[in-house]
Structure 1
């Protein structure tokens, strides 16, 4: 990617992010500081913390989850599509607590794969993605997380690449209409397991409506996380936060092999400022409070 294209994408992302959340929710990372972190240092405005909806293990209506996360210092929520509570109920909870829904996770991408050899399955997968884009816009979010396919008996790496690219390109007009970006997550699916191939895949799509949702723990299995950060650079739109170690597997943030000081340095070098969403084992108040503290320690030092 040329430096001009990188700059263009960065400016596009900043402009899109500033408008997508809406004035009432003020959802973007550049607008506020993590509420439970001291703001004496100007650097402490770079990250906004969230959790995945399924991590919040408490009873009651959605408002209870929003209230708890607000009390614990989180800045927003990431929900799922399909299968989420009613849009009106979520918007009401979001407005009452001031916690935006920053995005949605496509919950069916593993089953209805855009890399499937069957056209009918790919059509279904694209329809689910399109619905997630609409759901996200209705909730005033601005991104949908997507796993583009799986390398295995039904698809080689090249086939996942070509099939998923074709399907993603078909939804770009809808992304433009609703102001919602599709973000590709790096997972253990046999696809793009080096930062260079991940970068090249995003560049092959060649659209500002598509970016990287970098999982800081998932990539550690394949190499230093900070290398992924530097290679992807301005393509990174959001971060999933978890830890992984060769001896422990997935573990609590700060207890694996991710070199968090090195990651902080790399994020500063590329100028990353945005959403950081925990993707770890959830729980109730005490567990979610511990996750917030661990994220703070990992990303702010």
Structure 2
């Protein structure tokens, strides 16, 4: 009698390989955590082919950077995503101009953010990622990342100094920092009623926008809204250059963290420069980062903000991060 043979599909192979990888992690030096983490990747407009590849590679969901004009079209996209077995957990709104001197730019940024909130609602997402504003340019002298030593008023969030010693060279930067804090608070506060109505949380991300560059200042800014629909969207890679360990950021922000972006940053030997690299190739202490997430009770999503590796490789690296190895 001819023996029965079995030729697994690519999906079955990847699923088996992923399970084996997790089994090896659990039986080696992986830590035991109370919290559960899900894996996601940033996509533009959802497309079936790529979504199926994500699912086959082991991902749980996506963060969508495309904003829909039409509810019907958005709900069709949601049906497709969920039919494949994934979830849209967030919408990437990105940069706003809430500190602009031009009221038209502020209004335009506000309108796009409203659109992002509606898109998230239609897609069944829990959050939007919003960068309220940025400062910089040739006329603004900003301290080097390693020189920051900030003092601020906890009630207003206004900064009084950014380095030790003479702050005269940074007077314009300090003024713009405080203006940005006030403008962002005003516009985000106006958005809260819509966020409540749509049941979508505004996740404030702090990126290389030269604002809120220390954990206590970032926490003060997010906490100042004192509202369950305004939280922190924390990107671990964006903060490495400020020479404060990622786990310290997480412990400081604590329960304010709603979502996590994953990428890595490799500091140069002098710690005064560096570059973005793939997760686990840089300077982040990932086991300490994972333990910190468990310490603060973070149950939620980590979304890789990176390209250049095969999806199964990204999935494997995220599995190792989640396992704490």
Instruction: Give the TM bin, normalised by the shorter chain.
Output: 0.7 to 0.9
Task: Pick closer, same or farther for the CA change 1:186–1:88 going to 2, 3 Å.
Answer: same
In 2, the alpha carbon distance for the partners of 1:96 and 1:174 equals 28
Task: Find out whether 1:134 has 2:118 as its counterpart.
Answer: yes
RMSD across aligned positions (CA): 2.4
Q: Does 1:230 align with 2:251?
A: yes
Counterpart pick for 2:85 among 94, 98, 102: 98
- Report deviation, 1:81: 3.8
Show the counterpart of 2:305. Answer: 279
Question: How many residue pairs align between the two structures?
Answer: 256
Aligned to 2:181: 161
Q: Report Cα offsets for 1:258-278 as digits up to 9, x if no partner.
A: 011111221111111100000
Check 1:90–1:264 CA distance in 2 against 1; reply closer, same or farther (3 A cut). same
Contact kept? 2:35, 2:297, Cα under 8 Å: no
Residues 290 and 96 of structure 1, relative CA distance in 2, 3 Å threshold? same
Q: Find the counterpart in structure 2 of residue 242 from structure 1.
A: 263
1:62 aligns with 2:47: yes
Following superposition, the deviation at residue 84 of structure 1 comes to 9.0
Is the 1:137–1:178 Cα contact (8 Å) retained in structure 2? yes
CA shift at 1:88, angstroms? 3.9
1:219 counterpart (239, 249, 254): 239
1:21-36 matches, within 5 Å, as 36=19
Aligned to 2:102: 118
Asked whether the equivalents of residues 35 and 294 of structure 2 are also in contact (C-alpha less than 8 Å), the reply is no
Q: Which runs of 5+ in 2 are unaligned?
A: 1-17, 141-174, 269-273
State the match for 2:8 in structure 1: none
Counterpart secondary structure, 1:182? strand
Kept in 2, the 8 Å contact 1:101–1:140? The answer is yes
Deviates more, 1:78-87 or 1:145-154: 78-87
Q: 1:45 to 1:70 in 2, by over 3 A?
A: farther
Identify unmatched segments of 5+ residues in structure 1.
1-34
CA distance in 2, matches of 1:45, 1:261: 14
1:101-134 per-position Cα deviation (integer Å, ceiling 9, x unaligned): 1110014x2xx51111111111110110001000
**Deviation, structure 1 residue 45:** 6.1
DSSP-derived class of the 2:283 partner: coil
1:176-213 per-residue CA deviation (whole Å, 9 max, x = no partner) reads 00000000112011001000000000111221100011
- Tell me which residue corresponds to 2:40: 50
Distance 2:60 2:69 in 1: 19
Which of 221, 226, 249 does residue 206 from structure 1 map onto? 226
CA distance in 2, matches of 1:229, 1:240: 12
